[in-house]
Amino acid sequence: MRKMWKIMLVVCCLGMTVGCGTSPSKNERMEEALPVLVVNGTQLMNVEGDTVVLEGVSYGWHQFWPRFYNASSVAYLVNEWGAKVLRASMGVDLDSACYVNKPEFGVECVTRVVDAAIENDVYVIIDWHSHNLRQEEAKEFFTQMAIRYKGVPNIIYEIFNEPVEDSWEQVKAYSVEIIKAIRAIEPDAVILVGCPHWDQDIHLAADDPITGYNNIMYTLHFYANTHGQWLRDRADYALGKGLPVFVSECAGMEASGDGPINQEEWKNWLNWMQRHSISWVAWSLSDKDETCSMLYPSASSEGNWKDADMKEWGKAVRDNLKALKK
């Protein structure tokens, strides 16, 4: 109840209401909300006109690592690692516990992280983590999320994680329909749009962007030991054409999620993102036997991770975030 109480307070502070049934009493103290985010040109900003750069951590697919989807892990990532944004990656397909097979479980995992992010005063991405077009299911899900979190400034919607085989024309048409569904309820929240070929063909979106909607950004994903200067050149092209870019998933190893971390290229990417004031989210909070999973199975579900519980990648992301927090 405390989490829902805080959500309603934040919403009322903005003069709006959350579609969830009850209202706080008039005597309850309203808490200060995070600054509302807007997109101005290629930049993410607050309503005061200040450039905003968010750095943080993405949770792994919810159906495989639900144990980390809890309020304690959120608080630890925010307070101990310095994460400014978290990403709740709801696995849409794959496995019997994915969203299309168990939608209530998916919503429960995502909202647990989202509510905790609100409680800890950070931004949070609701990520439709799929590689396939599922327009009707996506419309239903994002309508539900927009109703639940209408007016809450913490929320960012990522409407298609990584298109793979779909053309930009197909992804664009899908994205317009999902944006319409969200905007019918939530007129202002930032929405992240995916690009073809694992979010690498951002130049295609730059040549034919979505029009008629504000506060839209486009996602670029990279894995530093696979994606180098050629992808930064492609992103520079997109920025040069005025396309707002958000790196909603990135890491230092190969695109498979495994193999060695390329420290030099990871630093090149960090420098590039800093130079362009681009937000980024590192993949992933999970304990799979792969390089990009930040934790070992020995790690607690709730945080308070010791160095022995963290892989090289987890320690690197933690150190990067802590350095940026100073």
In a domain, 295, yes or no: yes
What is the average per-residue pLDDT within 242-269? 98
Helices 103-119 and 135-148: angle between axes, nearest 10 degrees: 40
Give, in order, the Cα–Cα distances in Å from 69 to each of 65, 115, 218. 8, 11, 26
Q: With cut-offs at 50, 70 and 90, classify the pLDDT of residue 325.
A: confident
Give the range of the structural domain holding residue 310, as residue numbers without chain letter.
Answer: 34-325
Asked if residue 72 is part of any domain, the answer here is yes
197 vs 163: CA distance, rounded Å: 6
Tell me what the pLDDT averaged over the chain comes to: 91
Residue 7 counted as domain residue: no
Indicate whether 28 belongs to any domain: no
> How many angstroms separate the CA atoms of 127 and 298, rounded?
27
- Does the pTM surpass 0.85? The reply is yes
Listed residue (314, 322, 283) closest to 297, CA to CA: 314
Whether 288 is in a domain gets the answer yes
- Written as one letter, the residue type at 277 is S
Q: CATH number, domain at 268?
A: 3.20.20.80
Query: Active-site residue numbers?
Result: 162, 249
Query: Is 29 part of a structural domain of the chain?
Result: no
> Binning pLDDT at 50, 70 and 90, where does residue 16 land?
very low
Position 305 in a domain:
yes
- Those residues with Cβ within 8 angstroms of residue 83's Cβ, 6 or more apart along the chain or in another chain: 55, 56, 57, 77, 122, 321
| Residue 20 located in a structural domain | no
Number of domain units in the chain = 1
At 32 the pLDDT is 54
